[in-house]
Structure 1
Amino acid sequence: MSLTFEDRRMTILYHLEMEGKVHVHHLSKLLSVSTETVRRDLDRLEKEGKLRKVYGGAVKMRIEHVEPPFLKRTQMMKKEKSSIGKLAASLIEDGETIMVDNGTTTIEILPYLRDRTDITLITHSVPVLNLAMETFRGTIIFAGGEVNPEYQATTGSLTDQLLDQFKVNKAFISVGGISLVDGITDFHLAEANISRKMMQRAEESIVLADHSKFGLSTFARVSRLEEISMLVTDTGCSKEWVDTMEALGIEVRISE
């Protein structure tokens, strides 16, 4: 029995959510319909605002094509980011050394470390550094180098060389997108390089991402999905994504 448009719609949107993009010929084989039918389906879904057609297929519709400024991002998904930060902070044991990269989700760890004196924090993020100096009572190491005013962080070879001097227990990594095809990505190449270095220098790499990041691919790859140890996200993350990540051997923690 042939599939209805609603059946095909669900399948197309599922693969779009999981992979960030779909291809006409793959969908044609998967749905056992002609490529012309797939293209008509994609036309309808584009008119609904569910996707954007590109050559050979379609990509997930994104609200932002470039990363908003840091201060604006602090107001986006604020409740979810705070709950993710709280759960992430609970994973840190006394005596551990952690690396925290430059993100509006990773910075939410800091309010929950106020009374933790036996922790060493390493960061290249100016906002994380400023908040840590105000509220954190443990040891702070700033990975210095050339300060990029746009990113509000240090990047480049000096920062990379300094991070190479450490081996830490946990690295907490922010993301621009999470995709089955492209893995963990960021908007900026320099930031992606620093996040990747932090992962290399940590025993555990923990990605913090609210549900809006899933199915998206941004400019620069940080790592393959299989290279992360744990994902901390919020209740808006779909069961399909949770199951997929766990099938890859990644522990998933859901914040309240």
Structure 2
Amino acid sequence: MSVTYEDRRMTILGLLEMEGKVQVPQLAERLGVSTETVRRDLDRLEKEGKLRKVYGGAVKMRMELHEPPFMKRSQMNPAKKSSIGRLAASLVQDGETVMVDNGTTTLEILPHLRDRKDLTLITHSVPILNLAMEILRGRVIFAGGEIDPECQAAVGSLTEQMLDGFKVNKAFLAAGGISVTDGVTDYHLGEVNIKRKMMQRAEETILVADHSKFGRSTFARIARLEEFSMLVTDSDCPKEWVEKLEALGVERMISE
């Protein structure tokens, strides 16, 4: 039985969503068609604006190198981010020390930590610092350094050196994209270095990301997905990603 174009289209786009890139020979073998048929399909999908052809295959159109401003990001998926923040905060116990990364989703963790006793929070994020000083009952430590006005966070060697002096129970990290092939990525190299340092200094590293981050690759790689202790996301996380996370052995919590 021959495979229709619509069937091939769904397979190609599904693989791109998961892996970010497809190769002509592998597609031909998987679909049971000739390489010429696959190339024609890729031509058609490129005209539809679904992908971009490259030598030997195709890549997603959504490779993103520039991040929207902090304020604009804070208005994207606010309800989902709030539910993720509530669920992530439930992992924090009284008396723990946590690092909280810069991001609009990590910011949503703080309102749900109001009642934690003897909490110590360490951050390099200016928005998180400002909110923490207003609402937290515990100790707040700012990992200072040169402030990047675009990120609204401290970055660079001074910040990394300060973080290196701590050992914490949990680190909550944000990300720009999550891809099977590229791992967990972000837009700013300076912030990526901070995230890696937080991962080194934490007993557990928890990735918080809403569904829009799946299948997206950004500029710089933070780590492989399986290097994180847990992923907290929302209920719109695609079914194929839930299955992939399970296959990778990544523990996950999904908010309502």
Q: Which interval holds the TM-score relative to the shorter structure? A: over 0.9
Deviation at 1:165, TM superposition (A): 0.8
Q: Verify the 8 A CA contact 1:186 1:221 in the aligned structure 2.
A: yes
The residue type paired with residue 138 of structure 1 is G
Aligned-partner Cα distance in 1 for 2:52–2:147: 36
Equivalent position of 1:198 in the other structure = 198
Return the TM-score normalized by structure 1. 0.95
Task: Tell me which residue corresponds to 2:14.
Answer: 14
Instruction: Note the C-alpha offset of 1:238.
Output: 1.3
Aligned to 2:171: 171
What's 2:3 paired with? Answer: 3
How far 1:213 sits from its partner (Å)?
Answer: 0.7
Task: For residue 26 of structure 1, give the secondary structure of its aligned residue in structure 2.
Answer: helix
Counterparts of residues 1-256 of structure 1 (less than 5 Å): 1-62=1-62, 65-256=65-256
**1: CA distance, partners of 2:6 / 2:21:** 19
Give the letter for the 2:36 counterpart.
E
1:232 Cα deviation from its structure 2 partner = 0.5
Q: Which moved more, 1:69-78 or 1:52-61?
A: 52-61
Q: Distance in 1 between matches of 2:22 and 2:108?
A: 34
State how far apart, in whole Å, the 2-side matches of 1:52 and 1:109 are.
37
Secondary structure of 2:154's partner? Answer: strand
TM-score by length of 2: 0.95
- Rounded to whole Å, the distance in 2 between the matches of 1:47 and 1:220 is 29
Residues 38-86 of structure 1: per-residue CA shift (max 9 Å, x gap): 1221222233333233333222232954100111100011111111111
- 2:25–2:35 CA contact under 8 A, matched in 1: yes
Distance, in Å, in 2 between the alignment partners of 1:114 and 1:142 is 18
Is the 8 Å Cα contact of residues 173 and 208 (structure 2) preserved in structure 1? Answer: yes
In structure 2, distance between residues paired with 1:132 and 1:244: 35
- Structure 2 CA distance for partners of 1:149 and 1:250, relative to 1, 3 Å: same
Aligned residues: percent identity? 74
> 1: CA distance between counterparts of 2:177 and 2:187?
9
Q: Tell me how far 1:125 sits from its aligned partner.
A: 0.4
Is the Cα contact below 8 Å between 2:63 and 2:217 reproduced in 1?
A: no
For residue 2 of structure 1, give the secondary structure of its aligned residue in structure 2: coil
- Residue 75 of structure 1 aligns with an amino acid whose one-letter code is Q
Q: Aligned partners of 1:210, 1:57: CA distance in 2, in Å?
A: 29
Indicate the SS of the match to 2:59. strand
Q: Letter of the aligned partner of 1:182 in structure 2?
A: D
Deviation, structure 1 residue 147: 1.1
Q: Extract unaligned runs of 5+ from structure 1.
A: none
Contact 2:93 2:116 in 1 (8 A): no
Mapped to 1, the partners of 2:65 and 2:48 lie a distance apart of 19
- Offset of residue 246 of structure 1: 1.7
Task: Give SS of 1:17's match.
Answer: helix
